[in-house]
Amino acid sequence: MENFNYHRPASVDDAVKAAKAHPEAKYMSGGQTLIPAMKQGLAAPSDIIDLGALKNSGVSLGSSLVIKAGTTHAEVASNADVKKAIPALAGLAANIGDPHVRHKGTIGGSIANNDPAADYPSACLGLGATIHTNARKIAADDFFTGLFSTALEEGEVVTAVEFPLPKKAGYAKFPNPASRYAMIGVFVADTGSGARAAVTGAGHGVFRAKEIEGALAKGFSAASLNGVKVGTDNVAGDLHASAEYRAHLITVMAKRAVDAAK
């Protein structure tokens, strides 16, 4: 790991100031992706801006479910409001990584990093969430722009994620057998104004599966997905899974997600 300067700002404004002062700086929330990447020499930021002192965590439930960016996966998994309003989201958080990751990693960190095999981006896109930042609100459909890239501007910080309440939603993950990241994860939601289905783990970044959404529009049930084939356009092949296999798993996992939807 290369040496770096460490900052621990007490406010969002100070964090943004620090980021603007150091163009090679990186925000760190739970550090569960960034630190391993730094240890492997895959990332070498000049400055780390630790967002831990912002104490920006917690959940509030009203006409929508708002989760502050610094909320850990373990908190989301065990929060009564999340379990009541969107149980699939609590279940998703409960299966990210291992207990260590779940107690350090945060929802804001996960979506700002936008790992193509992370779980949360599929929930945001599948539920049609709105990402709140220090500067604005961004629809999930506009937020995830590709592999490890988002609509966030330089220095912009995610502050919360706002989820509209679905009629029901479900998530099914097929873990990579080695890393346990999603090899395919599908988040489906019956939003009341149509079905949404977002896929993670396919290789090029989270996306909405039109074939799945089209089929579910005819009826939000696993039976609607019988015979539905997803193309390999958004799907990559690697050591663990060919593109064809991954594409096949999208339908299988979508069915399981619909079956599990509550």
Partner 1 sequence: MDNGTGIGARVKRKEDHRFLTGKGNYTDDINLPKQTYAYFVRSPHAHATINKIDTAAAKKMPGVVGIFTGEDIANSKLGGLICGWMIHSKDGSPMKAGPHPVLAQGKVRYVGDHVAVVIAETREQAKAAAGAVEVDYGVLPHVVDVADAMGHKAQIHDVAPDNRVFNWSIGDEAATDAAFKKAAHVTKIDLVNNRLIPNAMEPRAAIGYYDTGADHYTLYTTSQNPHVARLVISAFHGLAPEHKLRVIAPDVGGGFGSKIFIYAEEVVCVWASKYVGGRPVKWTAERTESFLADAHGRDHVTHAELATDAGGKIIGFKVHTKAAMGAYLSTFSSCVPTYLYATLLSGQYNIPAIYAEVDALYTNTAPVDAYRGAGRPEATYVVERIVETAARELKMDPAEFRRKNFVTQFPHQTPVIMCYDAGDYAAALDEAMKIADVKGFPARKAASAAKGNYRGLGYSAYIEACGIAPSAAIGSLGAGVGLWESAEVRVNPVGTVEILTGSHSHGQGHETTFAQLVSDRLGVDINNVAIVHGDTDKVQFGMGTYGSRSGAVGMTAISKALDKIEAKAKRIAAAVMESSPEDVEFKNGTFTVKGTDKKMAFGEVALSAYVAHKFNSAEIEPGLKESAFHDPSNFVFPAGVHIAEVEIDGDTGVTTVVNYTAVDDFGNVINPMIVEGQVHGGITQGIGQALAEGAVYDKVSGQLLTGSYMDYQMPRAADVPSYKLGFTCTPCPSNPLGMKGCGEAGAIASPAAVMNAVTDALAVKDVPMPATPNVVWNQLQHLKKAAE
Residues that bind partner 1 (CB under 8 A): 174, 177-179, 239-242, 245, 248-249, 252
Distance in angstroms (rounded) separating the CA atoms of residues 141 and 90: 21
Q: What is the separation, in whole angstroms, between the first and last Cα of the chain? A: 44
Closest CA to 188 of 204, 176, 206, 170: 170
Tell me whether residue 44 or residue 80 sits nearer to partner 1 (CB atom): 44
Q: How far is CA 133 from the centre of its chain?
A: 15
Least distance to partner 1, CB of residue 71, Å: 26
Least distance to partner 1, CB of residue 43, Å: 15
Residue 87 is inside which H or E element, if any?
A: helix 87-94
Least distance to partner 1, CB of residue 178, Å: 4
Closest CA to 131 of 46, 196, 205, 66: 66
Tell me whether residue 129 or residue 254 sits nearer to partner 1 (CB atom): 254
Least distance to partner 1, CB of residue 92, Å: 18
Question: Please, what's the largest Cα pairwise distance for the chain?
Answer: 56
Tell me whether residue 68 or residue 255 sits nearer to partner 1 (CB atom): 255
Tell me whether residue 54 or residue 247 sits nearer to partner 1 (CB atom): 247
